[in-house]
Amino acid sequence: MCPAKISESAVRRLSLYLRVLDAFELAGKTTVSSGDLAERGGVTPAQVRKDLSHFGSFGKRGLGYPVSELRERVTEILGLGRRWRVGLVGAGKLGAALFFYDGFRGQGFDVAAIFDNDPDKIGQRWGRLVVEDIESMDRVMRTSQVEMGIIVTPAVSAQQVADRLIASGVEAILNFAPTRLQVPPGITLRNVNLEIELESLAFALTHENGA
Amino acid sequence: MCPAKISESAVRRLSLYLRVLDAFELAGKTTVSSGDLAERGGVTPAQVRKDLSHFGSFGKRGLGYPVSELRERVTEILGLGRRWRVGLVGAGKLGAALFFYDGFRGQGFDVAAIFDNDPDKIGQRWGRLVVEDIESMDRVMRTSQVEMGIIVTPAVSAQQVADRLIASGVEAILNFAPTRLQVPPGITLRNVNLEIELESLAFALTHENGA
DNA sequence: GTTCGTTTGTGATTGATTTCACAAGCAAAG
DNA sequence: CTTTGCTTGTGAAATCAATCACAAACGAAC
């Protein structure tokens, strides 16, 4: 049902299936086969079945999976059956882009606090929030009951910010700063490094045809 | 030396080593061991040696790797020994954040064109560039000799944009739209899906302590 | 109730990636 | 010149992930 270890990539595929299920439900389908899910998700049917089987047995042999029920189950598995409160550190352009992006709210993530250390930015009103001084992070994070942090600061400040987030009780961090953060065991860290993505494209273009 | 297939993750680690090497060079070190690189990169020494050995033999036994020379070689391997011209599609907040982010230029990536389909945005001056109509993509891309595309549009337009980019001669695409793009063989595609990252954090928080 | 076409769930297999472990090589010291 | 202390480069082993292949199960048709 819920085994010891699910691979990072399997979890990401679950997110993918959830989107495909949304589309199928919108299209009015009531059941889907692993083949349907696989085709739309760009994976193999066996992979879909294996991924789902880690968490239970949701399908009917000969029929497939009930769309609506599977969607609910995957939502639950991913921990999206509730809303999450997110703290955003860094009120720059990327921070603004993330803050005003509707996709997060749609998936159950609410930005509950924004921080910066620039006096020009502190006090600015962003939607229904005010940019807070990074110095008051601990207090604000606890009163806002923030559970996740997003780091959108320059690389030099990132480690310090991460330390403060963790001190404030945050256990999951999404880091956009192009630097490798050290976090203690038990803290979940995901990195999004745009430079690395571009560099991987450059590598592919450079090596694609025996060049 | 340069084998048939290097894994995606190995390439990403090379990017990482490059950053660590930058730091070491800045700190004035002339040689590093695989252990040094591993520690700062958060991997194992054996992994470092294996990754590098795919491309040649850069170290001296008993000594380690010459920082400056290895940095040059890795730069070359990743295809960063030249500048790359990038086209940005989507002049929204995320597009702006990427455009004004200095890290890309620093690594050799120049945004050479920006596109949007919103009449209010078309014609806006961004730095030294003007936002172009997406309709004129083919012409602009070719005259600007753009080699990579970054998609920062809503999900619904993303596939259409990708098709146009490919028709304009682009062979590598970095997609930020939360949708799975279909591209023909020979086109390199990387996806950055912020919703999936947050969902993977939600999963981790939900399942960490047998919850 | 039996047969038929379909699709799941899963042990077995294959494949990929990471780690191990050690011979080979280098510099410095004696 | 030999020994000593490190560190690389790499085949072998181990771990991890993806795919295969097939028995079991279901609904529909008759």
Asked if A31 CB < 7 A from strand C, the reply is no
**What CA–CA distance (Å, rounded) separates B77 from B59?**
16
Residue A211: the pLDDT is: 43
pLDDT tens digits, residue range A133-189? 999 999 999 999 999 999 999 999 999 999 999 999 999 999 999 999 999 999 999
pLDDT tens digits, residue range A104-139? 999 999 999 999 999 999 999 999 999 999 999 999
Average pLDDT in chain B: 95
DSSP symbols for A88-103: EE--SHHHHHHHT-HH
Radius of gyration of chain A (CA): 20
Residue B209: the pLDDT is: 64
CA torsion sign, B100 to A204 to B9 to B71? negative
What are the beta bridge partners of residue B86? B111, B148
Lowest mean pLDDT among A100-109, B32-41, B114-123: A100-109
Closest residue to C16 (CA to C1') is B7
DSSP symbols for A131-193: EEEGGGHHHHHHHHT--EEEE-S-HHHHHHHHHHHHHTT--EEEE-SSSPPP--TT-EEEE--
Which chain C positions come under 7 Å from a protein C-beta?
A: 5-11, 16-21, 24-27
What are the beta bridge partners of residue A84? A109
The pair phi, psi for residue B111, each rounded to 5°, is -75, 120
- For residue A180, count other CB atoms closer than 10 A to its CB: 19
| pLDDT over threshold 50, residue B16 | yes
Split at pLDDT 50, 70, 90, the class of A5 is confident
Please tell me the distance in Å from A19's CA to the nearest CA on chain B: 8
Secondary structure of residue A5 in the 3-state scheme: coil
- Is the CB of A79 less than 8 angstroms away from the CB of B198? no
Q: Is A120 part of the contact surface with chain B (CB cutoff 8 Å)?
A: no
Closest residue to D21 (CA to C1') is A46
Angle of helix B8-26 relative to helix B34-41, nearest 10 degrees, comes to: 100
| pLDDT over threshold 50, residue A191 | yes
B182-211: string of b/e by CB count within 10 Å (b at 16+)?
ebeeebbbbbbbbbbbbbbbbbbbbbeeee
Contact B145, B165 (CB under 8 A): no
A-B interface: how many C-beta pairs under 8 angstroms?
Answer: 181
User: Environment class of residue A5 by beta-carbon count within 10 Å: exposed (0-12), middle (13-18) or buried (19+)?
Assistant: exposed
| pLDDT over threshold 80, residue A4 | no
Domains of chain A: 8-77 (1.10.10.10), 84-196 (3.40.50.720)
Average pLDDT in chain A: 95
Residue with tokens 């619904």: B156
pLDDT tens digits, residue range B148-202? 999 999 999 999 999 999 999 999 999 999 999 999 999 999 999 999 999 999 9
Asked if B29 CB < 7 A from strand D, the reply is no
